[in-house]
Amino acid sequence: MSRSILISGASIAGPTLASWLSRAGWAVTVVERFDHVREQGQNIDVRGVGRQVIRRMGLEDAVRAAHTGETGTDFVDEHGRAIAAFAGGTDDTSGGTAELEILRGQFAKILHAHSKDAEYVFGDQITALHDDGAGVDVEFRQGSPRRFDAVVLAEGLRSRSRALVMPDARIDELGLYNAFLAISRTGDDTDRWRVLPCGRGRLLSLRPDNLGTIQASLSFTSDVRGLDRLGHDDVAAVLRATFADVGWAAPRVLAELDNGSLYFEDIGQAKLAEWSRGRVALLGDAAYCASPVSGMGTTLALAGAYVLAGELAGHDDPRDAFARYEQVLRPLVTKAQQLPPGAPQIAHPRSRLQLAAFRTAVRVGSSPLLGRVSGLAGRFMTPPAEAITLPEYPIPAPA
Ligand X SMILES: Cc1cc2nc3c(=O)[nH]c(=O)nc-3n(C[C@H](O)[C@H](O)[C@H](O)COP(=O)(O)OP(=O)(O)OC[C@H]3O[C@@H](n4cnc5c(N)ncnc54)[C@H](O)[C@@H]3O)c2cc1C
CB of 258 to ligand X, least distance (A): 18
Binding of residue 383 to ligand X (CB under 6 A)? no
From candidates 4, 8, 73, 93, binder to ligand X by CB under 6 A = 8
| Sequence-distant (≥ 6) Cβ neighbours of residue 350 within 8 angstroms | 199, 200, 201, 221
Q: What distance in Å separates the CA atoms of residue 112 and residue 313, rounded to the nearest whole number?
A: 21
Backbone angles phi, psi at 236, to 5 degrees: -60, -40
Q: Please, what is the minimum distance in Å from the beta carbon of residue 130 to ligand X?
A: 17
Is residue 10 close enough to count as binding ligand X by CB under 6 A?
A: yes
Whether the bond into 344 is cis, omega within 30 of 0: yes
- Residues 6 or more apart in contact with residue 305 via CB below 8 angstroms: 13, 14, 16, 17, 20, 53, 154, 283, 284
DSSP tag of 181: E
Of 50, 197, 199, 284, which lies in the binding site for ligand X, with binding defined by CB under 6 A? Answer: 284
CA 220 to each of CA 83, 171, 261: distance values in angstroms, whole numbers, following the listed order: 21, 19, 19
Which CB atom, from 199 or from 213, has the smaller least distance to ligand X? Answer: 213
Instruction: Provide the β-strand partners of residue 127.
Output: none
User: Which of 43, 44, 47, 54 lies closest to 89 in space, CA to CA?
Assistant: 47
Contact pick of 55, 64, 109, 160 for ligand X (by CB under 6 A): 160
Max CA pair span of the chain? 66
**Element at 301 (helix H, strand E):** helix 297-314
- Interactions with ligand X, residue window 166-225 (CB under 6 A): 180
Q: Is 104 in the site for ligand X (CB under 6 A)?
A: yes
Which of 94/261 has CB closer to ligand X? 261
Q: Which is nearer to ligand X, 12 or 199 (CB)?
A: 12
Least CB distance to ligand X at residue 283 (A): 7
Residue nearest to ligand X (CB): 284
Cβ-contact 53, 303 below 8 angstroms: yes
Q: Select 14 or 310, whichever has its Cβ closest to ligand X.
A: 14
Q: Which of 70, 131, 285, 311 binds ligand X (CB under 6 A)?
A: 285
Q: How many residues bind ligand X (CB under 6 A)?
A: 32
Candidate segments 29-37, 110-118, 253-261, 331-339, binder of ligand X by CB under 6 A: 29-37
Q: Give me the 300-319 binding string for ligand X, x by CB under 6 A, dash otherwise.
A: -x------------------
The beta strand positions in 228-302, using DSSP E, are: 263-270, 276-277, 280-282
Contact of 293 with 343, CB cutoff 8 Å:
yes
Tell me how far the alpha carbon of residue 185 is from its chain's centroid.
24
Shortest Cβ distance from residue 358 to ligand X (Å)?
21
Please name which of 124, 121, 125 lies closest in space to residue 163, comparing C-alpha atoms.
125
Q: Supply the minimum distance, in Å, between the C-beta of residue 374 and ligand X.
A: 26
Residue among 161 and 276 whose Cβ is closer to ligand X: 161
The helix (H) or strand (E) run that includes residue 336 is helix 318-336
CB of 313 to ligand X, least distance (A): 20
Residue nearer to ligand X on the CB measure, 24 or 111: 111
Each residue 242-281 as x (binds ligand X by CB under 6 A) or -, in order, gives ---------------------x------------------
Residue 34 is a binding residue for ligand X (CB under 6 A): yes
Among 93, 125, 205, 242, indicate the residue that binds ligand X (CB under 6 A).
Answer: 125
Q: Which of the ranges 4-12, 206-214, 314-322, 382-390 carries the binding residues for ligand X, by CB under 6 A?
A: 4-12
| Residue 251 DSSP SS3 | helix
Q: Is residue 31 a contact residue for ligand X (CB under 6 A)?
A: yes
**Between 32 and 92, CB nearer to ligand X:** 32
Please state, in angstroms and rounded to a whole number, the distance separating the CA atoms of residues 262 and 41.
Answer: 9
Sheet holding 4-8, edge to edge: 119-122, 27-32, 4-8, 150-153, 280-282, 276-277
Using CB under 6 A, list all residues that contact ligand X: 8-14, 31-34, 38, 40-42, 44, 104, 125, 154-156, 159-161, 180, 263, 284-285, 292, 297-298, 301
